[in-house]
Amino acid sequence: MKNLLKKVVVVTVAITVLILGGCGDKQKPISATTATPAQTYHWKMVTSWPKNFPGLGMAPEKFAKHVNEMSGGRLTIQVYGAGELVPGFEVFDAVSQGTVQMGHSGAYYWKGKIPASPLFGAIPFGMTADELNAWLYYGGGMELYREMYKPFGIIPMAGGNTGAQFGGWFKKEINSIDDLKGLKMRIPGLAGDVLKKAGAIPVNLTGGEIFSSLQSGAIDATEWVGPYNDLAFGFYQAADYYYTSVWHEPSAGLEFLINEKAFNSLPKDLQQIITVAARAVNEDTLDEYNARNNSALKTLVEKHHVKLRQFPPEVLAQLKKYTNEVMSEQAAKDAGFAKVWKSYSEFLANIRSYNDITLKEYYKNR
């Protein structure tokens, strides 16, 4: 046995010497002068958020940092806040036209161009963040998302989620559906169409424009996100009542917009880095909101004496009825919306049944 081992060792050493010797003779070390330097790419990303705004604005910053570090500096991305290169609502056009390579925004801002876009971000009485991600990644949602944006030369990727959003800030209490009549409220997406049916006047403003509009009285009410972000904007200084009811954005999916030509010009490994970084930031953003909303809410109530309210059940029931009407109208008007809505509503019906007998019960019992 010992002899056999000795033989194996001797043979192995001999082979190793041969291989090393062979290499030494035939292969020259790569010199600095003959190596081709890796091509580097420098991209710009415009966003719909104030630069470095907590949550929403930090998602693109984290993404850029991940991509820079994972690519060893081969792909760097400069992030711009709303209005620095283009206004917040022109992010889509800038990416589509190739003025910049990337954008970060919310899908429902583009409902005028792509009627189905709100279904990838937020619709009233729709999916929670977990449900939306399940549909996007494993329920056929992402394929439809790409299909809808393809005519504009844009590849969309999920880019964060705020979780359930609050009903918003009101200067007067809402005690009946009639209290919504004539109310000027900042509210984007299809929720605006729902409120219009209740006689309200929906207004679309980017985040940075909201506070001054609320304070001056140009609008009577606003929704934005939830305690973490709403505290940062200081809305408690302009309105007394904060409605905790979740209805119009049970979750809000954010998105990365990528110019298709720019993406296709990248080598495969950089494309994969972008894809994986987007997936990481999508989850990270939701985790951050879930962790920070409650402490922000405590600050709003205990330090700033904000009055928390809920919409009466009959107001929510009426809003739900109007939502169903809006969805039917949208589906009748636009084939793309109808196609995505079919997938979305079927997935939601199934996952809702499942969650009704599991999580919903658990929330009541724990």
**Binding interface with Ca ion (CB under 5 A):** 165, 249
Given a contact cutoff of 8 angstroms between Cβ atoms, the answer to whether 96 and 152 are in contact is yes
Q: Supply the minimum distance, in Å, between the C-beta of residue 165 and Ca ion.
A: 5
Separation of alpha carbons 194 and 190, rounded Å: 6
Q: Where are the alpha helices (DSSP H) in 84-128?
A: 91-97, 118-121
Strand 168-170 relative to strand 241-243, pairing: antiparallel
Q: Supply the minimum distance, in Å, between the C-beta of residue 229 and Ca ion.
A: 9
Given a contact cutoff of 8 angstroms between Cβ atoms, the answer to whether 106 and 254 are in contact is yes
Q: Which is nearer to Ca ion, 258 or 319 (CB)?
A: 319
CA quadruple 180, 183, 184, 187: dihedral, nearest 10: -10
Give the H/E segment covering residue 142. Answer: helix 141-149
Q: Which is nearer to Ca ion, 49 or 135 (CB)?
A: 49
Q: Which is nearer to Ca ion, 141 or 192 (CB)?
A: 192
Q: Supply the minimum distance, in Å, between the C-beta of residue 252 and Ca ion.
A: 6
Q: Supply the minimum distance, in Å, between the C-beta of residue 34 and Ca ion.
A: 55
| Residues whose CB falls within 8 Å of the CB of residue 237, separated by 6 or more in sequence, listed in order | 215
Given a contact cutoff of 8 angstroms between Cβ atoms, the answer to whether 344 and 141 are in contact is yes
Q: Supply the minimum distance, in Å, between the C-beta of residue 173 and Ca ion.
A: 21
**SS3 (DSSP) at 72:** coil
Q: Supply the minimum distance, in Å, between the C-beta of residue 106 and Ca ion.
A: 8
Q: Which is nearer to Ca ion, 43 or 108 (CB)?
A: 108
Residues facing 106 on adjacent strands: 254
Residues facing 241 on adjacent strands: 170, 307
Separation of alpha carbons 159 and 4, rounded Å: 61
Q: Which is nearer to Ca ion, 148 or 225 (CB)?
A: 225
Q: Supply the minimum distance, in Å, between the C-beta of residue 166 and Ca ion.
A: 9
Separation of alpha carbons 158 and 48, rounded Å: 15
Q: Which is nearer to Ca ion, 96 or 165 (CB)?
A: 165
Q: Supply the minimum distance, in Å, between the C-beta of residue 221 and Ca ion.
A: 13
Q: Supply the minimum distance, in Å, between the C-beta of residue 97 and Ca ion.
A: 27
Q: Which is nearer to Ca ion, 101 or 165 (CB)?
A: 165
| Residues whose CB falls within 8 Å of the CB of residue 338, separated by 6 or more in sequence, listed in order | 331, 332
Secondary structure (DSSP) of 163-176: -SPP-EEESS---S
Separation of alpha carbons 209 and 205, rounded Å: 6
Q: Which is nearer to Ca ion, 81 or 192 (CB)?
A: 192
Strand 154-161 relative to strand 253-259, pairing: antiparallel
Q: Which is nearer to Ca ion, 105 or 165 (CB)?
A: 165
Token readout for 237 is 């200084």
Separation of alpha carbons 86 and 81, rounded Å: 9
